Homo-oligomer: A and B are copies of this chain.
Amino acid sequence: MAKENWGRWGPEDEAGTLNLITPDKVTAAAGLVSVGRVLSLAQPLSSATPMARHRHGFAHFMDRDGGDYAAGGKRPGGFQFAEDTIMMPVHTGTHIDALCHAWYDDRLYNEFSGDSIRSTKGGQFCGIDKMPPLFTRGILLDAVAQRGEVFPPGETITLNILKAALSATGREIEPGDVVLIRTGWLESHIGRTGVSLDTEPGIDVEGAEWLAESGVAALGADNFAIETIPFPAGAVFPVHQRLIRDYGMPLLEGLVLAPLAKAGAKSFLFSAAPIPIVGGTGSPLAPIAVL
């Protein structure tokens, strides 16, 4: 059964709501830069980065380093260098979900078959390599400011809270915006070990649908999965199902938003470009907000 945005940008579209970021939107977003301050929204990546239990850990291997020279390594022409290899699940730390990351009824966004995602080649459709860069207006919905404290794990940031947070910005959501929701989860867990990824504060389907219908191009948050965990009874990742699969909207997870809130940012230029891993279901991301 066709869903909200299926076919909206043609039967072969693999970019989904990012189509809402038009050239006019890009130009207008650039015009938001006023003080020239660039804020990184990316978590540092290391083996200490919080990681879902079922995933492999982040691994960082030095293929050559200063120690090798200290131990007598040769330096032809005086040259010394260090290099390294990483192994990581793509859904680690600050990252973006590709449209082939989540689905139901064996159909991805825009009716692509789930069978098109295989061990041998990853996602043939809706992979992260099909996702254009995000360069648009960002709006920060500061749920923490609304509540006066960070949201505790398991608590839902309801539609009313989202609306109140939007109202506090003095802006309206316009098509093509990236909306970032500060739940307080990440800032309250930094430096803590043994973080539980079985529970987190987040939005629900009602809020998600309101955002999608408002024309949001991509939705981000400072938690690890956008939506409240535990899920409502009988549901499993219902926001992922609705936004990624039905609306074709990418999700940005694990964003560092506290400094943005502290800077008083309400709307700003948001820029982020996924690493084009062919067939990838997502990508590590280093988004920026430019004030």
Residues of A within 8 A of B (CB): 22-27, 30-38, 40, 42-47, 55-57, 59-73, 75-91, 100-106, 113-120, 122-123, 129, 132-133, 135, 231, 234-238, 240-241, 269, 271-288, 290
A-B contact pairs, 19 of them (CB 8 A): A22-B36, A23-B36, A27-B36, A38-B132, A46-B277, A46-B278, A62-B118, A65-B71, A65-B117, A67-B69, A67-B119, A70-B70, A70-B71, A70-B114, A75-B104, A78-B241, A79-B104, A82-B102, A83-B281
Determine whether the beta carbon of B83 is less than 8 Å from that of A282: yes
From B31, B57, B283, contact of A56 by CB (8 A)? B57
Q: Across the two chains, which residue of chain B brings its CB closest to A56?
A: B59
Q: Which residues of B contact A278 (CB under 8 A)?
A: 44-46, 60
The smallest beta-carbon distance between A240 and chain B, in angstroms, is 7
Q: Which residues of B contact A279 (CB under 8 A)?
A: 46, 60, 84
Determine whether the beta carbon of A66 is less than 8 Å from that of B24: no
Determine whether the beta carbon of B273 is less than 8 Å from that of A241: no
Q: Which residues of B contact A40 (CB under 8 A)?
A: 132-133, 273, 276
Q: Which residues of B contact A277 (CB under 8 A)?
A: 44-46, 60, 84, 86
Q: How far is the CA of A235 from the CA of B77 in the complex (A)?
A: 5
Q: Which residues of B contact A272 (CB under 8 A)?
A: 273
Determine whether the beta carbon of B67 is less than 8 Å from that of A82: no
Supply 8 further A-B pairs (C-beta < 8 A) apart from A26-B33, A26-B38: A65-B122, A66-B106, A67-B71, A79-B237, A84-B282, A86-B277, A271-B271, A275-B275
From B84, B89, B115, B290, contact of A71 by CB (8 A)? B115
From B23, B38, B104, B119, contact of A68 by CB (8 A)? B119
Q: Across the two chains, which residue of chain B brings its CB closest to A104?
A: B78
Q: How far is the CA of A83 from the CA of B282 in the complex (A)?
A: 8
From B37, B63, B79, contact of A240 by CB (8 A)? B79
From B37, B64, B105, B231, contact of A23 by CB (8 A)? B37
Knowing A45-B276, A276-B44, say if A71 contacts B118 (CB, 8 Å). Answer: yes
Determine whether the beta carbon of A117 is less than 8 Å from that of B62: yes
Determine whether the beta carbon of B79 is less than 8 Å from that of A102: yes
Q: Across the two chains, which residue of chain B brings its CB closest to A113?
A: B66
